[in-house]
């Protein structure tokens, strides 16, 4: 911020408020651009005094809500027209009153549409996309100021595959993307519903992250060692039991090994084979409120 030497009569007319000053106050408070300019002008460029000025004028400033959690919101998932790319995101807020508001849902949908139309790959990239000439980051700040709640794009996922299915569960409370190696719309939806219901950690045992496997191994071994019935048992037996428990974890927690929710008599892998022997799940993403 640059300042001239203010005269004793009227110091406000000699202060230059820069775009950087205005943007900083917007980031701190979520107030609109014109309100931030006015606040800085009225307070001789003093940032803290400008925040107080906004509060005195009835503004709901974001700086006072930094410790409040945005656990509600709207989750959306959508694919491109060719089903080669899918995007899922969550526009979060603090209360279900706001999350169920038609205008807020429509706002979230406009962000999703912009994400797909502009082929974005991250939240940072999405925040820079313009809707009707205004950056999404600025529109979010304006919405924050108008509704009086902490909001933001809290989650973002993307999948690129030969065919992507999307699924929304529970009135925009959960979204799922599934990547397949070939077109199979109905199967894609069924697998997405499986993921929504059963929340697998990976596609199969081979794709479970190493840190998850190690954590489960540690838990299983501790369970066995703390079982009085296992005291004095040979190491070979303990390892065999641990392996069995770990395999049970993979069966319950990996997508292809899980029992298919629409037919508990078969696994998800069996279901996919029944649709097409060559049909494979390449990846999936699941995001939910909370």
209-228: b (≥16 Cβ within 10 Å) or e: eeeebeebeeebbeebeeee
Q: Which domain holds residue 45?
A: 2-65
- Does pTM top 0.75 for this prediction? no
Q: pLDDT digit string (tens) for 114-149?
A: 999 999 999 999 999 999 999 999 999 888 888 888
Q: Are 272 and 280 in contact (CB under 8 A)?
A: yes
Q: Are 195 and 104 in contact (CB under 8 A)?
A: no
Reported residue count of the chain is: 290
In this structure, the answer to whether residues 163 and 250 fall within a common structural domain is no
Q: What span, in angstroms and rounded, lies between the C-alpha atoms of 84 and 67?
A: 39
Query: 191 in a domain, yes or no?
Result: yes
Convert the pLDDT of each residue in 193-245 to its tens digit.
999 999 999 999 999 999 988 888 888 887 787 788 888 888 888 888 888 98
Beta bridge partners of 73: 92
CA distances from 8 to 4, 14, 15, 51, 126 (A): 12, 11, 13, 25, 47
What is residue 146's predicted lDDT score, i.e. its pLDDT?
85
Are residues 56 and 79 both part of a single domain? no
- Same domain as 221, residue 174: no
Provide the domain count of the chain: 3
């Amino acid at each position: 911020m640059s300042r001239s030497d203010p005269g004793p009569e009227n110091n406000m007319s000699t202060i230059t408020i820069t775009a950087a000053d205005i943007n900083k106050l917007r980031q701190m408070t979520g107030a609109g651009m014109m309100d931030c300019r006015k606040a800085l002008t009225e307070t001789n460029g003093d940032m803290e005094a400008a925040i107080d000025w906004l509060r005195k004028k009835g503004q709901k400033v974001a700086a006072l809500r930094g410790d409040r959690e945005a656990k509600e919101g709207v989750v959306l998932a959508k694919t491109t027209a060719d089903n080669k790319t899918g995007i899922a995101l969550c526009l979060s807020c603090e209360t279900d009153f706001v999350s169920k508001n038609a205008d807020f849902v429509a706002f979230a949908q406009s962000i999703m549409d912009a994400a797909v139309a502009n082929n974005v790959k991250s939240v940072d990239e999405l925040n820079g996309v313009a809707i009707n000439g205004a950056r999404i980051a600025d529109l979010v700040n304006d919405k924050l100021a108008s509704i009086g709640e902490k909001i933001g794009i809290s989650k973002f996922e993307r999948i690129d595959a030969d065919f992507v299915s999307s699924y929304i569960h529970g009135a925009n409370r959960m979204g799922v993307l599934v990547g397949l190696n070939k077109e199979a719309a109905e199967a894609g939806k069924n697998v997405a519903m499986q993921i929504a219901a059963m929340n697998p950690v990976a596609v199969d045992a081979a794709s479970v992250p190493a840190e998850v496997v190690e954590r489960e191994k540690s838990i299983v071994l501790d369970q066995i060692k703390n079982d009085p019935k296992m005291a004095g048992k040979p190491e070979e037996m303990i390892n065999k039991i641990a392996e069995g428990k770990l395999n049970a974890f993979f069966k319950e927690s990996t997508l292809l090994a899980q029992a298919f929710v629409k037919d508990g008599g078969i696994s998800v892998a069996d279901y996919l084979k029944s649709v097409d022997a060559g049909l494979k799940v390449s990846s999936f993403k699941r995001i939910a409120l909370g």
